[in-house]
Amino acid sequence: MQNRKLIYGLLGMLFVSGLILGGIILHFKNSQGLKVIFLDIGQGDAILIAQGKNQVLIDGGKSGKLLLERLGKFIPFWDRQIETVIATHPDQDHIGGLADVLRNYEVETVIETKARSQTQVYKKWEDEIEKETARRVEAIRGVKIKFPNGALMETVYPFYSLADFQSKDNNENSVVAKFVFGENKFLLTGDLPSSRESWLLENNLDLRAQVLKAGHHGSKHSSGADFLKFVAPEEAIISVGKNSYGHPHPDVLERLREQGVEFYRTDEKGNIVYKCDNQNEKCERYFN
């Protein structure tokens, strides 16, 4: 009698577990549309673009623990692969969490510039890439990532290899990428300062986008007035956390207001998600 109760109890637990697992799987199957997610990872950048089992992660903030927690909300637990990781530049608030990503996920491709850093954070990142044996691609104008549903990401800056380029400011060489899904366009600018924004304008690039990732967490020296006029975004995302730098700077917020750009901050809104089910329709924005 006691054994029968035990067996029934175990069967009941298995049944409930099956329902829960089935519900989780069904949830992710119903979420196969494309999403562009600006992750709330404090003072830093991390952007996840996901379509089904295909993911591109751009930067990883400072904390690997926090980054993995955020990724767990949007990548199902059985998917242990991230197809591409992009490091816009080797500053801690952009690559600090990426070493933990390499340890916890199988990463097929790493895209980064040839800019180097002498910090321990960067050395740790380099060591993990070597262990992962991921394919390495230099981030340079023209590098493209194609998604199964027709979405396309293209690197628009740097214009040239940084292998022999010396600069004390890593921000100057931040990777700038444009992501396009039908009529939906996102311009992702890393920590690019205004001095380099002018380079983009001088080269007459197609930079227009509905959504702009504001450069350098809303720094006074990024998102210049001429740049904003040219890009003509409807919305801007400011990836920011508690900091002593004054980010986002009041001047930047005023410039955005003057251009009629709605802006959203990760420190106020949390994860900012654009859900894109159809390339002929505008992506739906929500906060998670």
Same domain, 121 and 218: yes
Same domain, 161 and 26: no
Same domain, 171 and 240: yes
Same domain, 21 and 59: no
Grouping H, G, I as helix, E, B as strand and the rest as coil, residue 127 is helix
Place of tokens 């510039």: 113
Same domain, 126 and 260: yes
pLDDT of residue 149: 87
pLDDT of residue 168: 75
Q: The domain containing residue 79 runs over which residues?
A: 31-287
16: confidence class by pLDDT, cuts 50, 70, 90: very low
CB 85 within 8 A of CB 104: no
Distance CA 60, CA 93 (A): 7
Same domain, 155 and 12: no
pLDDT digits (tens, 9 = 90+) for 251-261: 999 999 999 99
Q: Could you tell me the CATH number of the domain that includes residue 168?
A: 3.60.15.10
The number of distinct structural domains making up the chain is 2
pLDDT of residue 177: 98
Same domain, 147 and 192: yes
Q: Which of 216, 287, 273, 278 is nearest to 249 (CA)?
A: 216
Same domain, 195 and 169: yes
Q: Which of 216, 210, 275, 214 is nearest to 37 (CA)?
A: 275
Distance CA 110, CA 84 (A): 6
pLDDT digits (tens, 9 = 90+) for 149-201: 899 999 999 999 998 776 778 999 999 999 999 999 999 999 999 999 999 99
Same domain, 164 and 128: yes
Same domain, 271 and 281: yes
Q: Which pTM value belongs to this model?
A: 0.88
Per DSSP, 247 falls in state: P
Same domain, 87 and 26: no
Same domain, 1 and 98: no
pLDDT digits (tens, 9 = 90+) for 116-153: 999 999 999 999 999 988 999 999 999 999 999 899 99
